[in-house]
Amino acid sequence: MLDQRVLSVFDILGPIMIGPSSNHVAGAVRIGRIARMIFGEEPSDVSLNFYGSLAKTYKGQKTDLAILAGLMEMDVDDERIKKSLEIARKKNIKVSVHTQTYSKKDPNTMEMILKSNTNLLEVEGVSPGGGEIVINRIGEFCIYFQGNRDAILIIVREEEKEPVLKKIKNLLGENLVDIETFQAKSRILFCFYLDHIVDDTNLRKLEGIKEIEFKRLVRCLYPYKLKDNSPLFRTAKEMLKLVEKQRIALPKVILKYESKRSGLSEKDIRNRFKEIWIAMKRTTDQGLSGVKRPMDSIVGNDSKKIYKAYMEGKTITGEIIPLAIARAMACMEVSTSMGRIVAAPTGGSSGVIPGVIITMAEKLKSGEEEIIDALLVAAMIGVVVANFASLSGSAGGCQSEIGVSSGMAAAALVQLAGGNSQQVVNATALALKNILGLTCDTVANAIEVPCIKKNVIGVVNALAVSDMALAGIKSVIPLDEVILALKNVQELMPMELRNTQLGGLGITETAKRLKREWMKKLESEG
């Protein structure tokens, strides 16, 4: 799957979303939205199937709520997501959930059977990380559909393939940019990718092609469409070569990458990063002012405690570390309260980058453009990692989330402090090496213990290795090889340590007690 993607920097720093999980909330919302477009109407009956770690954690990670929200056409930052089950009940939408813990399916698989009075459809999708999605099955068709381009899906019988193909090519003309074909028995599913959404006139012309058995217009889920599927580079080595060859700064090379990939102007890209920066600061401020914890919460507003200690001069680790820690925890407390956050690169690791960048930008008195450059570097480092390794704790442990976010934060810090591109890459490699093997052993379903405090480890690690890299210390193992090592450790890590609550902290006696108490709270909420 990984080698088929051409990621955007906004797939890594973003989306701006409702917490707590980019995989299991933002990704689930998007899978639900795609399924709704393919189904063509609001379903009256929804049957959800979760596998692997999601079978154990979907309640705590709000995945059922998120899919329902998408099916009711909500977006990833819609405050109503937390109320989606209640909204579905008021609409008389019947909802059932089925689970299977031990499965060969990807642990981020979300399968649904949708019904209405006139329609029945099975859709299966996977959320690889950071809110990114792939639809891998529609009914009998095994497909690969990412929702990052406007498209028309059409099903015809195999013997009608050529005449229908000719008619649609003529109809769409230059608006048709690509075609993918998937076969199941005697039927063909065409995916016609479009430069822009077709108008009503052309849609009515499609109605006149009698050979078409099924057709759906599927709009791009993102404000940054895939325009060019040939990336400017994929590895850190290729990125550094381009910096050297073109003799321009690393942020400029990253702007060129994204402009080629998404068709956005450099000004537009920078403006979008400004929005991300504003959202990060808003989340941090909200968290430090204290958030209303959900009824099923395990922990309280701990960020206020460390912040208070810092303000009173009671912390012992200097001026930077406690303040960065407080901010990182504040972001995560907003996230776990189903507040609005920036996935960085995931919801479960959303505190690390804001914690270190906001704090260090204050110390260095960095300007907004310098901060945006640093965020661009962080995002691109995340793209390079995600090209080869998972960003999902369920797929590869917390090394995939906190580990990667710490590497991204370290890269951003080096950029912010005036380091060169080689130092940026060294900082990332050093950070990732330090957190290889970090498990995802959540307690009692919620993304709180130990997740919030693990963001603190990411903060401290990023600060330490950025100093090392700026001092001229190099990683003995090049970043691209460290990323492959990360992938190797992900594959070797047993499923019990990948967000299943079947190992590590998740099976301690206290964790079992907390889970029982957590379930009782949920039941009392109805």
pLDDT of residue 356 exceeding 80, the answer is yes
Q: Is residue 115 part of a domain?
A: yes
Give the pLDDT score at 291. 85
C-alpha span between 122 and 445 (Å, rounded): 27
Confidence band, pLDDT 50/70/90 cuts, at residue 447:
confident
In whole angstroms, how far apart are CA 151 and each of 163, 217, 372? 20, 6, 32
Q: Let me know: does 96 contact 43? Beta carbons within 8 Å.
A: no
Residue 382 lies in a domain: no
Please report the pLDDT score of residue 245 as a whole number: 97
* Residue 267: inside a domain: no
Query: Taking 70 as the threshold, does the pLDDT of residue 525 lie above it?
Result: no
Residue 343 inside a domain? The answer is no
Extract the tokens encoding 296: 């099923």
Range of 169's domain?
Answer: 2-218
| Region 329-355 average pLDDT | 96
Residue 509 burial (C-beta neighbours within 10 Å; 0-12, 13-18, 19+): exposed
Q: What is the spatial order of strands in the sheet that 120-129 belongs to?
A: 94-100, 45-51, 109-115, 120-129, 132-138, 141-145
Kindly give the pairing relationship between strand 45-51 and strand 94-100.
Answer: parallel
Residue 195 lies in a domain: yes
| pLDDT(228) > 90 | yes
The reply to whether 465 falls in a domain is no
DSSP state at residue 272: H
Per-residue model confidence as pLDDT tens digits over 377-410: 999 999 999 999 999 999 999 999 999 999 999 9
Domain count of the chain? 1
Q: Are strands 120-129 and 141-145 parallel, antiparallel or unpaired?
A: unpaired
d(CA 258, CA 458): 26
Contact 213, 155 (CB under 8 A): yes
> Quick one: tokens of 122?
């099975």
Q: Give the number of other Cβ atoms within 10 Å of residue 201's Cβ.
A: 7
Strand partners for 192: 152, 179
Tokens 């089950």 locate to 85
Share of the chain above pLDDT 70, in %: 98
* CATH number of the domain where residue 130 is located: 3.30.1330.90
Check whether 2 has a pLDDT greater than 60: no
- Provide the 10 A C-beta neighbour count for residue 90: 9
Dihedral sign, Cα of residue 216, residue 223, residue 148, residue 51 = negative
The answer, yes or no, to whether residue 102 has pLDDT greater than 60, is yes
Alpha-helical runs (H) found in 104-198: 161-172
Residue 62 lies in a domain: yes
Q: Is 179 contained in some domain?
A: yes
